[in-house]
């Protein structure tokens, strides 16, 4: 993959593919999950062929999501560790929301909002997976007591709503902060984008002469 001259690599090709596969699974799970959750959304089951097909496919999509998200976790966890910059950033959330980013303390590769999205999903997806297995009628319908399944289905629904709320914030932030969508679609950002939104990350790349996404990224990307 080559990137336009003078740009910074925000997300490597593998990361981007991994991200969009996860996103596809998430969207399909949301559509089928909402159809199973509330009658006003049941018509969404048609997108999957029929209610029966939707019921059959939903758990398998969940399995795909867990595997795919594990890949994202491996690639992102280190840059999502919470530090003092994040606390300082979070305290200026009002300025962030008002697009006055020059008044907000600089942060590294991810800001506190992105980290909340990341750790929120890290927390919720395993809960969805485990409770989902418990209510996977075809394979595990007889594995646990009905009372256990009642708890599981309630927790599963609540966790799913939590995940969808986080997802709405995630998608909106990507639309709101211009250049983010390109960073995940095509992988690159302009130096100004990095300077404005993730100055410490930008400076660490500048100091090491790395093309991104991390200061120790190999120099082969520099050829672009």
Partner 1 sequence: MADLQSQDYIRRSATNLTPPSVRHHELEVAKLIDVSRCIGCKACQSACMEWNNLRPEMEEFHGAYENPHDLNPGTWTLMRFAEYEDEQGNLEWLIRKDGCMHCEDPGCLKACPAPGAIVQYANGIVDFISENCIGCGYCVKGCPFDVPRISPTDHKSYKCTLCSDRVGVGLEPACVKTCPTGAIMFGSKDDMKDWAGERIAELKERGFANAGLYDPKDVGGTHVMYVLHHADKPSLYSGLPDKPHISALVGAWKGFLKPVALAGLAFAAIGAFVHSVVAGPNETTEEDEAAARRELSGKGKDAP
What residues act catalytically?
170
Strand-strand pairing, 188-189 and 8-9? antiparallel
Q: Is 2 in the site for partner 1 (CB under 8 A)?
A: no
Report the alpha-carbon angle 77-177-185, nearest 5. 65
Q: Is 194 in the site for partner 1 (CB under 8 A)?
A: yes
When binding is defined by CB under 8 A, the residue of 14, 17, 83, 150 that contacts partner 1 is 150
| Helix/strand/coil for 142 | coil
**Closer by beta carbon to partner 1, 126 or else 179:** 179
Q: Is 179 in the site for partner 1 (CB under 8 A)?
A: yes
The total number of residues shown for the chain amounts to: 224
Contacting range for partner 1; rule: CB under 8 A; set: 66-74, 81-89, 105-113, 184-192: 184-192
Give the nearest distance from C-beta 190 to partner 1 in angstroms.
6
CA-CA distance, 180 to 109, in Å (whole number)? 13
* Pair of tokens at residue 110: 């991810």
Contacting range for partner 1; rule: CB under 8 A; set: 13-21, 82-90, 125-133, 135-143: 135-143
Phi, psi for residue 8 in degrees, rounded to 5: -115, 140
Using CB under 8 A as the binding rule, the residues of this chain from 54 to 83 that contact partner 1 are 54-56
């Amino acid at each position: 993959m080559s990137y336009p001259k003078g740009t910074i690599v925000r997300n490597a090709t593998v990361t981007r593919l991994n991200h969009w596969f996860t996103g596809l699974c998430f969207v399909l799970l949301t559509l089928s999950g909402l159809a199973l959750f509330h009658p006003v959304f049941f018509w969404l089951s048609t997108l999957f062929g029929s209610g029966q097909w939707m019921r059959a496919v939903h758990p398998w999509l969940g399995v795909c999501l867990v595997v795919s998200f594990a890949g994202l976790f491996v690639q992102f966890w280190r840059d999502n560790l919470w530090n003092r910059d994040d606390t300082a950033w979070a305290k200026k959330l009002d300025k962030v929301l008002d697009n006055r980013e020059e008044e907000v303390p600089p942060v590294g590769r991810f800001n506190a909002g992105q980290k909340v999205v990341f750790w929120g999903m890290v927390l919720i997806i395993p809960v969805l997976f485990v409770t989902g297995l418990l209510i996977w009628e075809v394979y595990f319908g007889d594995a646990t007591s009905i009372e256990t399944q009642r708890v599981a289905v309630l927790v599963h629904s609540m966790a799913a709503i939590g995940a969808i709320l986080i997802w709405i914030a995630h998608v909106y932030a990507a639309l709101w902060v211009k250049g983010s969508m390109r960073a995940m679609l095509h992988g690159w950002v302009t130096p100004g984008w990095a300077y404005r939104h993730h100055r410490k990350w930008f400076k660490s790349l500048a100091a090491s002469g790395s093309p991104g996404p991390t200061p120790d990224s190999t120099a082969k990307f520099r050829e672009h």
